[in-house]
Amino acid sequence: MTQLFEVATPDTALLRGVTESAHSPLRAQNNVVRLQGISRRFGHTQALRDVSLTLQKGEILGLIGRSGAGKSTLIRCLNGLEQPDSGVIEIEGRNITGLSEKQLQAVRSRVGMVFQHFNLLSAKTVAQNVALPLKIAGMDKAQRQQRVAELLELVGLADKAQHYPAALSGGQKQRVGIARALAASPALLLCDEATSALDPETTRSILALLKSLNQKLGITILLITHEMEVIKSVAHRVAVIDGGEIIEHGPVWQVFADPQSAVTRTLLRGLLPQLPDNLAARLSQQKQGEVIYCVHAAGDDAQGDLLTRFAAALPGKFRLLQGGVEHIQHYAVVRFFIALPASNIADEQQILSWLHTQQAQVERVGYVASHD
Ligand code: ADP
């Protein structure tokens, strides 16, 4: 996979696969966004600290972080609502820091925004809501009508043009929000918790829409979300922000397979197989009964068969407690927990060396009293 995204952080151990200079001419041409050393302080709060990242054309980047991490400030900097104290923000190669409000308006038309609560005007029809940015941009009525019809077709709402928002479901309202954000054919779509107000099924349909828009239009998307499922299903890359700094980033499958920071592990907790609660509660670091290991690996389909091969190679030597394999971005991500008698050192050694020959990572989680 080609390198699509680069982040500079002080902790280089957390950077993965950065193979190309951010300043090469080829990259510069493909960059829709380039942030270089962005910092922003509010009083004593450092909301953003030396953030550098690029989004290339056609990339879907997920940005995750705890509440207060700096996500909204970053978004506001990207659409020109906030000016950083230092650093450079380029949208399609144009530095937008220090622009006048009038100059910023032109930049904003290149950046579409999708909101959590849709932000539709209730007194206007679906068509009028979508037409609004075009009207503000001065497009004539006939062109507007044609463009609105195209956009509603694109988001699957051609039959709702004359409806009012109140008559729409949440998912339909968000489709209107997306059509409106796309009206001026922006280069970048900023989605701020775009599916957080929707039920799981509607979320899936909105994500499918975003994915197809990304493929059809080649639009670059920045997804800000606290829903890790969203990242897993549509993003190419993920960046983790904490305390205003990008602390970890990489292709989604890699970060999900082997999160490096404690913050990322906490954010991904609901998505990664965990030790069952009853066992976690009894876990001790004192050697006793059974030893528990967490095994994880990621890679091609062969790596996806790891658990099957493991069970076949060492039958009866361990108990599977939890976990398995899932596929993210065409990569197999394997994570499971096993237990084995702590007294049988020979078996334990055999298991560990077999797993190491398979490039699996193995972590001793602790001990529990014997299973009976
Ligand atoms: P997130 O979107 O990740 O929840 P924010 O970007 O909203 O985080 O906020 C980052 C930090 O900056 C927080 O500590 C927040 O309280 C602070 N902050 C953001 N905007 C302002 C502001 N206008 N005035 C003062 N503090 C702010």
DSSP E strand boundaries for the chain = 7-8, 31-42, 45-56, 60-64, 86-91, 94-95, 111-114, 188-192, 220-224, 237-242, 245-251, 290-299, 319-328, 331-341, 361-368
- pLDDT value, residue 20: 36
349 falls within a domain:
yes
Where does ligand 1 bind, in terms of residues with CB under 6 Å?
A: 42, 45, 47, 65, 67-73
Write out the residue range of the structural domain in which residue 342 sits: 274-368
pLDDT in tens, 77-94: 999 999 999 999 999 999
CA of 238 to the centre of ligand 1 (A): 21
Which of 49, 72, 240 for a ligand 1 pocket mutation test, highest count of atoms within 8 Å of Cβ? 72
Give every strand in the sheet of 331-341, ordered side by side: 319-328, 331-341, 290-299, 361-368
pLDDT in tens, 92-146: 999 999 899 888 888 888 999 999 999 999 999 999 999 999 998 899 999 999 9
Q: Whose CA is nearest to atom 27 of ligand 1?
A: 42
Q: CA 285, CA 79: separation in Å to the nearest integer?
A: 50
Which of 41, 42, 241 for a ligand 1 pocket mutation test, highest count of atoms within 8 Å of Cβ? 42
CA of 241 to the centre of ligand 1 (A): 13
Calculate mean pLDDT across residues 49-57.
96
342 falls within a domain:
yes
CA of 338 to the centre of ligand 1 (A): 42
Closest listed residue to residue 57, CA positions, set 17, 88, 26: 26
Any idea which residue has 């237990």 for tokens? 339
pLDDT in tens, 207-237: 999 999 999 999 999 999 988 999 999 999 9
Cα separations (Å) of 180 from 71, 95, 112, 120, 258?
Answer: 23, 25, 8, 9, 38
CA of 63 to the centre of ligand 1 (A): 15
Calculate mean pLDDT across residues 170-189.
96
User: Quick one: pLDDT band at residue 31, thresholds 50, 70, 90?
Assistant: very high
Q: Whose CA is nearest to atom 23 of ligand 1?
A: 42
> Total structural domains in the chain?
1
Q: Which atom of ligand 1 is nearest to the CA of 244?
A: 10
286 falls within a domain:
yes
- pLDDT value, residue 15: 40
- pLDDT value, residue 16: 43
- pLDDT value, residue 370: 82
Q: Which atom of ligand 1 is nearest to the CA of 66?
A: 3
297 falls within a domain:
yes
Q: Whose CA is nearest to atom 24 of ligand 1?
A: 42
360 falls within a domain:
yes
118 falls within a domain:
no
> What sign for the dihedral angle of Cα 331, 190, 41, 226?
negative
223 falls within a domain:
no
Which of 48, 67, 73, 85 for a ligand 1 pocket mutation test, highest count of atoms within 8 Å of Cβ? 73
Q: Could you tell me if 230 and 60 are in contact, meaning their C-beta atoms sit under 8 angstroms apart?
A: no
- pLDDT value, residue 23: 44
Whether pTM > 0.95 for this model: the answer is no
Contacts of residue 332, defined as CB under 8 A and 6 or more positions apart, other chains included, come to 298, 299, 300, 301, 303, 304, 306, 325, 326
Structure tokens, 271: 């998505």
Q: Could you tell me if 122 and 166 are in contact, meaning their C-beta atoms sit under 8 angstroms apart?
A: yes
CATH number for the domain spanning 309: value is 3.30.70.260
Q: Is the pLDDT of residue 28 over 70?
A: no
Calculate mean pLDDT across residues 334-352.
95
Calculate mean pLDDT across residues 349-363.
95
Q: Whose CA is nearest to atom 12 of ligand 1?
A: 47
- How long, in residues, is the chain? 372
345 falls within a domain:
yes
Percent of the chain at pLDDT above 90?
Answer: 82
User: Quick one: pLDDT band at residue 371, thresholds 50, 70, 90?
Assistant: low
pLDDT in tens, 259-307: 999 999 999 988 888 999 999 999 999 999 999 999 999 998 878 899 9
